Amino acid sequence: MIRVLLVDDEQFIRQGLRMLINWEEYGYQVVAEAENGVDAIRILEEGGIDLVFVDIKMPGMTGLELISYVRENISAQTRFVILTGYAEFDYARQAMQMRVIDYMLKPVQEKELVAILKRINRDCQRERKERQENYDFHITHILLGKFSDENLAQARRWLKRQETWKYVSFEFDGSQEGFARLDYRQRMEQQKALRQYLQSLLGNDVCHVVPLIEAKEGIFGTGLLLSPCLYEGTGMEEADYLKYLQKRASQHLQHQIQVYVGQAASLEQLSKSAASIQVARCLHGLAQEEGQVMDYEKFRYRKPSFSVREESVGRLLEAVKNNQKEAICQYADAVFTQIRDSDMNLEMVNASIYHILYRLMEMVQEFDDEANQQEILAYIGKESFNKLVLSGSAEEITGFFNDYAGYLAQVRSLESRNVLDKVDDYVQAHYQEKLSLKSLGEMFYVNNVYLGQLYKKRHGMAFRDYLNQIRLEKAQELLAGTDMRIYAIAEEVGFGKVEYFINKFVQMNAMTPNQYRICMRDKTRQE
């Protein structure tokens, strides 16, 4: 809603304007009135006003004087429409020179008011889109850790000055049946609606709502830059404030929203906060607790209370770190015998598992601080690991830790990184085949999780996206150079389903395969 202030010394004029139309029907909300310029300035200084209807001739301070003061001292972005009579037309012309949007003759006519409001709404939407795109450009660079001084300067123009920030991710729960049934277009619409709704809840702090970072296929949502300035004055603590936003968004959109909170960081180090979301996201998957706000820092510094001796856990982890197979066998059996034979309830067992998993994940970062924590935790995730703990054999448990020890050894090894050249060559030659990180890892004797991380570092995208890109580039060649049917091309380049091929093609080229073919042929004829 565009927030409106009515300024006129005559009350019946203000009431008439308010009652003339249904403002909300046109995207507006009359939030305040003022009978003089001084009262109007006080309201405008509080913020939140987008558009002002102001009488051009008022006692004490004229409308022109009010406009001039606001432009110089409060906001150059506030829009003004002046109210005037025939006798004050010269004043109106002066106002237009001050970049006033328009003027209206008294008494105001409904048709004229509606026409002006529609035009202003179109202009506001266009400008809002341009500002958002510009803001998203700068803040995304900061969140990815690939920013310039200009990016920082622009971000500081919009954001309130705070020492520390937390990147918070609001995401639709893809496991919920209602959201799972939606197609890609519908999910994107829901993502847009979520961002807009959070913006409406934040009001003047709308710029704190930012794009979703590290979005992977199947994850839809939006980000939030959290600082104390957002919840100060609400009477709520940080966690309660986030739960409030989560509840309101879930109810409004009728889909469960999950919230993940990254670590605190300065604006310059905000990429670390965004990266830690990956851990928070995976911890939620491990905990399997619906509706919980998963805070990276709270988990990180939480002291686990379980009966497994820390000494035993420490020895096991040290053996894994050093790839000592005999010691792994000894200490893995000891740790999980303690878990299995204890009188711990399921919650305590889970706490034990989370603690060990988190410690395993942290090991990787000792050797490679760019390691993708989400992929690591997916590799050592609870679904398979928990089965081993609760019902697996000693050999299976030991095998898991030995596999992970081998993975760590590869992360430490510089030689293993050279294998990516060979894998890339193979993928380029065999892109039509059914390829996966697992099959390639087995073929080239490298851990599939680590291989995925290498791909992300070299190509800036996940392996699946890289493979799809190769296939789509080959499809472009076939579309331009042959008369093959679309379904035949999809099959030729390795896509199993033509619908999936078309969807990915549109995402990459902003046009359908057939439109691309026509475009390329037209280009050839022109040449």
Mean pLDDT of 212-227: 80
* Residue 316 confidence (pLDDT) above 90: no
* Residue 88 confidence (pLDDT) above 70: no
Which among 50-59, 318-327, 352-361 has the top mean pLDDT?
A: 50-59
Q: What integer pLDDT is reported at residue 146 of this predicted model?
A: 82
Q: What integer pLDDT is reported at residue 288 of this predicted model?
A: 45
**H or E element in which residue 124 lies:** helix 110-143
Percent of the chain with pLDDT over 90: 24
Distance CA 124, CA 126 (A): 5
Mean pLDDT of 90-118: 76
Q: What integer pLDDT is reported at residue 299 of this predicted model?
A: 62
**H or E element in which residue 247 lies:** helix 238-253
Structure confidence by residue, pLDDT tens digits, 382-437:
444 545 544 445 566 677 777 778 777 766 664 455 677 888 889 999 999 989 88
Q: What integer pLDDT is reported at residue 458 of this predicted model?
A: 78
Q: What integer pLDDT is reported at residue 285 of this predicted model?
A: 47
In terms of C-beta distances under 8 Å and separation of at least 24 residues, what long-range contacts does 422-427 make, across chains too?
A: 423/451, 427/466, 427/467, 427/470
Average pLDDT, the chain: 80
Q: What integer pLDDT is reported at residue 113 of this predicted model?
A: 92
Q: How confident is the model at residue 378 (pLDDT cuts 50, 70, 90)?
A: low
* Residue 370 confidence (pLDDT) above 60: no
- Return the structure tokens found at 201: 């809840």
Structure confidence by residue, pLDDT tens digits, 36-84:
999 999 999 888 788 999 988 888 888 888 988 988 888 877 889 888 8
Burial of 56 (0-12, 13-18, 19+ CB in 10 A): buried
Lowest pLDDT segment from 36-40, 103-107, 366-370, 383-387 = 383-387
Mean pLDDT of 202-209: 81
Structure confidence by residue, pLDDT tens digits, 484-522:
999 999 999 999 888 889 988 988 888 899 999 988 888
Q: What angle do CA 440, 444, 449 make, to 5 degrees?
A: 55
pTM: 0.52
Q: How confident is the model at residue 275 (pLDDT cuts 50, 70, 90)?
A: confident
Distance CA 167, CA 259 (A): 11
Question: Which is it for the CA torsion 26, 31, 37, 41, positive or negative?
Answer: negative
Mean pLDDT of 85-110: 68
* Residue 287 confidence (pLDDT) above 80: no
